[in-house]
Amino acid sequence: MAESKFGQFIAQPFRIYPPDLARALTEWLYDDPSNPVRDDPKLWEKGPQVQSVNRTLQFGSLSSGASSTQRLSIVGGRNAVVVSRSAVVIPAELGSPPVVLPNERSSFVNVEVKRTDGFAEVEDQPMSLAWGTMPGIPYQPPAPARWTANVDRVIKVTNNTGATASVYLSWLVYILDTGR
């Protein structure tokens, strides 16, 4: 493992990853100004813990053919590690019986994700290509993504299902639980 100016501490949830990645993820969260003990790495091990949270963005009752845009700040100004994402499209009119497979409408809703600095992370495309739409199998990038605090995402959803539907996007995120 490469040397680090912060020492060898690796947060518990990241120990499943290769050591150099695990340490980079640890430092991404602990070496953030929102951490009160940021400047004292020897306290990191006894300091705030890494907490996994699910964050969800809802586009409710989106008319057929309509697009909707929302701005996402996933943890409100703190660095975050995004591990996976998933999504579901729920039609306004449920059939009988009201059964919805999470992926059966996922080709009919487009999703685009752009950072506010203009970088396109997910080009406009059906969510089935770029999003986790199978229960229990969220979409995972090849390595967890380190999201920078205060770099928001602008997320556009387009409903091509032919009927009104609600779209839920979800992210599994690791943040530092500093109690605030």
Partner 1 sequence: MAFIPPEFAGYAEKDPGFALAMTKHLYGDPSYPGANRPELWADGPKVQFVNRNLTFTDVPATPGANTSEQVHDLGGGRNYILFGRSVTVLGSTARTAQLPNQDTDFINYQEEVLFGRAIVEEGPLSIVFGSTPAFPYALFRPELGFGGMLRRYTLENNTGTVVSSVILGFQLALLDTGR
Residue 18 touches partner 1, criterion: CB under 8 A: yes
Query: DSSP secondary-structure letter at 155?
Result: E
Among the candidate windows 46-54, 55-63, 65-73, 159-167, which touches partner 1 by CB under 8 A? 159-167
Distance in angstroms (rounded) separating the CA atoms of residues 47 and 12: 12
- The number of beta carbons lying within 10 Å of the beta carbon of residue 42 is 11
Residues 69-88 that bind partner 1 (CB under 8 A): 86
Q: Does 67 bind partner 1 (CB under 8 A)?
A: no
Q: Using the structure block, give the residue that is written with the tokens 């809802």.
A: 58
Which of 11, 130, 157, 169 binds partner 1 (CB under 8 A)? It is 130
Q: Does 143 bind partner 1 (CB under 8 A)?
A: yes
Helix (H) or strand (E) holding 136: none
Task: Select from 41, 73, 68 the least CA-distant residue to 55.
Answer: 73
Binding of partner 1 by 139 (CB under 8 A): yes
Interface residue with partner 1, options 126, 152, 166, 178 (CB under 8 A) = 126
* Interacting residue with partner 1 among 52, 61, 137, 150 (CB under 8 A): 137
**Letter for the amino acid at 107?**
S
Q: Which of 21, 72, 90, 154 binds partner 1 (CB under 8 A)?
A: 21
Cβ 92 to partner 1 shortest distance, Å: 12
Q: How many residues bind partner 1 (CB under 8 A)?
A: 47
Look up residue 91 and give its DSSP letter: E
CB 50 within 8 A of CB 29: yes
